[in-house]
Amino acid sequence: MTVARKSDVFAGIGTSVPPVSHARFNVGDVVRHRMFDFRGVIFDVDPVFANSEEWYDSIPKDARPRKDQPFYHILAENMESDYVAYVSQQNLVADHSDEPVDHPAITGLFDAYSDGHYRLRREHRH
């Protein structure tokens, strides 16, 4: 019997689910959450989980995403409010509604919206 090291399991080695190696979405993309009724625009990407353990542990155990995948910072909106969300790649899909996102922070980060994508303002580009 072979016992997998904790680091191997965390990296996806020895499991049936391989690690995610690249971000599927980019800054400026409009996305929807797979399970919850909200959409938003991505304003930052972490290559792997980079939030607090307290935040991670607050997610019900059976719904916790793997940490070895990109996580996105999103200017989010739903029918009641706008807010900032932190979402794993596995829980996002592209939004094809071609509707702009109505979040008050968008104008501070982005200038143009076209074809489901926002363009970063010049001062925020690297």
pLDDT tens per residue, range 20-31: 568 999 999 999
Q: What is the pTM of this model?
A: 0.81
Give the Cα separation of 49 and 70 in Å (integer): 7
Assigned token pair, 79: 């029918």
pLDDT tens per residue, range 99-119: 999 999 999 999 999 988 999
CA-wise closest residue to 94 among 28, 21, 19, 20: 28
Q: Give the model's confidence band at 124: pLDDT under 50 very low, under 70 low, under 90 confident, else very high.
A: confident
| DSSP states along 1-70 | -----HHHHHTTTTSSSPPP-S-SS-TTBEEEESSSS-EEEEEEEESS--S-HHHHHTS-GGGPPPSSS-
Q: Quote the Cα angle for 24-25-27, to 5°.
A: 150
Q: Give the model's confidence band at 17: pLDDT under 50 very low, under 70 low, under 90 confident, else very high.
A: low
Give the Cα separation of 9 and 27 in Å (integer): 29
Instruction: Identify the bridge partners of residue 87 per DSSP, sorted by sequence position.
Output: 72
Assigned token pair, 112: 């143009």
Domains and CATH numbers, the chain: 6-11+26-124 (2.30.30.390)
